[in-house]
Amino acid sequence: MSHDSKATRIGERVLRPESLMMGFGYDPVLSEGALKCPIFQTSTFVFESAEEGKAFFQVAYGLREPGAGEIPGLIYSRLNNPDLEVLEDRLCLWDAAESAAVFASGMAAVTTSLLAFVRPGDVVLHSTPLYGGSDHFLRHVLPTWNIEAIGIPAGERPEPLEASLRERIGTRAVAAVLLETPANPTNALVDIAAVAALARRLAVPDRRPVVLVDNTFLGPLWQRPLQHGADVVIYSATKFIGGHSDTIAGAALGSAEVMAPIRGLRTFLGTMASPWTGWLLMRSLETLKMRMTAAMKNARHVARFLNEHPRVERVHYLGDLSSDHPMFDVYQRQCLGPGSLIAFEVKGGEAAAFRVLNAMRLVRLAVSLGGTESLAEHPATMTHADVPYDQQQRFGITAGMIRLSVGVEHYDDLIADLANALDAA
Q: What span, in angstroms and rounded, lies between the C-alpha atoms of 144 and 305?
A: 47
Instruction: Tell me if 306 is assigned to some domain.
Output: yes
Summarised one tens digit per residue, pLDDT across range 112-166 is 999 999 999 999 999 999 998 999 999 999 999 999 999 999 999 999 999 999 9
Whole-number CA gyration radius for the chain:
22
Nearest to 282 by CA among 75, 46, 96, 93: 93
pTM tops 0.75, yes or no: yes
Q: What span, in angstroms and rounded, lies between the C-alpha atoms of 10 and 25?
A: 16
Residue 130 shares a structural domain with residue 272: yes
Q: Say which amino acid occupies 104.
A: A
Residue 227 shares a structural domain with residue 340: no
Q: Compute CA 124 distance to the chain's CA centroid, rounded to the nearest angstrom.
A: 18
For the chain, what is the domain count?
2
Nearest to 281 by CA among 1, 96, 90: 90
Between 362 and 424, where is the model more confident? Answer: 362
Mean pLDDT calculated for residue range 184-194: 96
Residue 138 shares a structural domain with residue 248: yes
Summarised one tens digit per residue, pLDDT across range 50-107 is 999 999 999 888 888 888 888 889 999 999 999 999 999 999 999 999 999 999 999 9
Instruction: Tell me if 73 is assigned to some domain.
Output: no
Instruction: Tell me if 209 is assigned to some domain.
Output: yes
Return the CATH number at 169: 3.40.640.10
DSSP percent split of the chain into helix, strand, coil, nearest 5: 40, 15, 45
Q: Say which amino acid occupies 62.
A: G
Instruction: Tell me if 113 is assigned to some domain.
Output: yes
Residue 397 shares a structural domain with residue 367: yes
**Contact indicator for 343, 213 with CB cutoff of 8 Å:** no
Summarised one tens digit per residue, pLDDT across range 2-23 is 568 899 999 999 999 899 888 9
Nearest to 242 by CA among 219, 258, 260: 219
Summarised one tens digit per residue, pLDDT across range 410-419 is 999 999 999 9
Residue 301 shares a structural domain with residue 275: no
Return the CATH number at 403: 3.90.1150.10
Residue 308 shares a structural domain with residue 260: no
Instruction: Tell me if 216 is assigned to some domain.
Output: yes
Q: What integer pLDDT is reported at residue 418 of this predicted model?
A: 98
HSE (side-chain half, CA atoms, 13 Å) at 337: 19
| Number of Cβ within a 10 Å radius of residue 159 | 13
Summarised one tens digit per residue, pLDDT across range 321-343 is 999 999 999 999 999 999 999 99
Residue 314 shares a structural domain with residue 193: no
Q: What integer pLDDT is reported at residue 2 of this predicted model?
A: 54
Name 211's bridge partners: 177
Mean pLDDT calculated for residue range 382-404: 93
Residue 259 shares a structural domain with residue 328: no
Write out the residue range of the structural domain in which residue 327 sits. Answer: 289-422
| Number of Cβ within a 10 Å radius of residue 52 | 12
Residue 216 shares a structural domain with residue 330: no
3-state secondary structure of 27: coil
End-of-domain residue from the set 285, 307, 334: 285
Q: What integer pLDDT is reported at residue 32 of this predicted model?
A: 84
HSE (side-chain half, CA atoms, 13 Å) at 231: 24
Cβ burial, residue 157 (10 Å; 0-12/13-18/19+): middle
Mean pLDDT calculated for residue range 267-281: 96
Percent of the chain with pLDDT over 90: 87
Q: What span, in angstroms and rounded, lies between the C-alpha atoms of 420 and 361?
A: 9
Instruction: Tell me if 405 is assigned to some domain.
Output: yes
**Contact indicator for 123, 151 with CB cutoff of 8 Å:** no
Mean pLDDT calculated for residue range 269-289: 97
Residue-wise burial string across 94-105, b where 16 or more C-beta atoms lie within 10 A, e elsewhere: bbebebbbbbbb
Q: What integer pLDDT is reported at residue 387 of this predicted model?
A: 87
How far lies 409's CA from each of 109, 120, 199, 290, 385, in Å?
30, 48, 42, 13, 29
Those residues whose C-beta lies under 8 Å from the C-beta of residue 38, and which sit 6 or more positions away, are: 31, 279
For residue 209, is pLDDT > 80?
Answer: yes
Concatenating the DSSP letter of every residue in 34-71 gives: -SSPP----SB---SSHHHHHHHHHHHTTSSPPPTTPP
Angle between helix 162-169 and helix 192-201 axes, rounded to 10 deg: 40
Between strands 99-103 and 123-128, the pairing is unpaired
End-of-domain residue from the set 285, 320, 340: 285
Residue 239 shares a structural domain with residue 305: no
End-of-domain residue from the set 264, 285, 306: 285
Q: What span, in angstroms and rounded, lies between the C-alpha atoms of 59 and 72?
A: 7
Q: Which of 78-82, 191-195, 235-239, 363-367 has the lowest mean pLDDT?
A: 78-82
Instruction: Tell me if 206 is assigned to some domain.
Output: yes
Count of helix runs (H) and strand runs (E) in the chain: 15, 14
For residue 304, is pLDDT > 70?
Answer: yes
Name 216's bridge partners: none
Q: What integer pLDDT is reported at residue 3 of this predicted model?
A: 67
Mean pLDDT calculated for residue range 365-393: 94
Residue 302 shares a structural domain with residue 385: yes
Backbone angles phi, psi at 377, to 5 degrees: -150, 170
Instruction: Tell me if 39 is assigned to some domain.
Output: no
Q: What integer pLDDT is reported at residue 386 of this predicted model?
A: 87
Residue 253 shares a structural domain with residue 393: no
Q: What span, in angstroms and rounded, lies between the C-alpha atoms of 105 and 70?
A: 30
